[in-house]
Amino acid sequence: MTQFILNGNPVVSASPDDTPLLWVLRDELDLKGAKFGCGIAQCGACTVHLDGVPTRACVLPVSAASGRAVTTIEGLATDAGEALKAAWVSEQVPQCGYCQSGQIMAAAALLEANPAPTEGEIVEAMNGNLCRCMAYGRIKAAIQVAAGEGEAQR
């Protein structure tokens, strides 16, 4: 039994302590935004925020979220998050879409920590989020737009 805050609301998971948080989110709490990609912390498709820090939910035991705040793409409502979602649409970022919630959660954590990242800082921050559709250029452009730098890049 694990209690934590999910997207601003208290929740209780009845799953065993070592159940990956991603399983709890998707299968127990029915939030399907975070995706299962690799299952070994290598792709970023499952990225959520744990107390504001981007975290790979596929390898985090649900017990590690006890008493903490988990934010998924469904609950991302910060200014940075809203700017990113709008930029994702304007820049037409997704192709298949599978990696995209993880990409946005990683980008949101970046902009919340660093509202005006350099191109190099964006590349470094997003380096661990893989996209098999190779949308990397549009992902970077959308982050620059969300950060208010997009026009300068065009």
Q: Which is nearer to ligand FES, 31 or 46 (CB)?
A: 46
Using CB under 6 A, which of 11, 23, 28, 39 touches ligand FES? 39
Q: Which is nearer to ligand FES, 5 or 130 (CB)?
A: 130
Q: Are 57 and 20 in contact (CB under 8 A)?
A: yes
Q: Which is nearer to ligand FES, 38 or 69 (CB)?
A: 38
Rule CB under 6 A: say whether 41 interacts with ligand FES: yes
Rule CB under 6 A: say whether 148 interacts with ligand FES: no
Burial 73-112 (b: 16+ CB within 10 A, else e): bebbebebbebbbebbeebebbeeebbbbbbbbbbbbbbb
Q: Which residue blocks in the chain are alpha helix, DSSP H?
A: 21-23, 79-90, 100-113, 119-126, 136-146, 150-153
Rule CB under 6 A: say whether 53 interacts with ligand FES: no
The distance of closest approach from Cβ of residue 116 to ligand FES in the complex, given in angstroms and rounded to an integer, is 25
> Interacting stretch for ligand FES, rule CB under 6 A, among 1-9, 79-87, 88-96, 145-153?
88-96
Using CB under 6 A, which of 60, 125, 131, 143 touches ligand FES? 131
Radius of gyration, alpha carbons of the chain: 15
- Which residue from 30, 105, 28, 35 is spatially nearest to 73, judged by alpha carbons? 105
Identify residue 81 by its one-letter amino acid code. G
User: What is the binding site for ligand FES (CB under 6 A)?
Assistant: 36-39, 41-46, 56, 58, 94-100, 131-133, 135
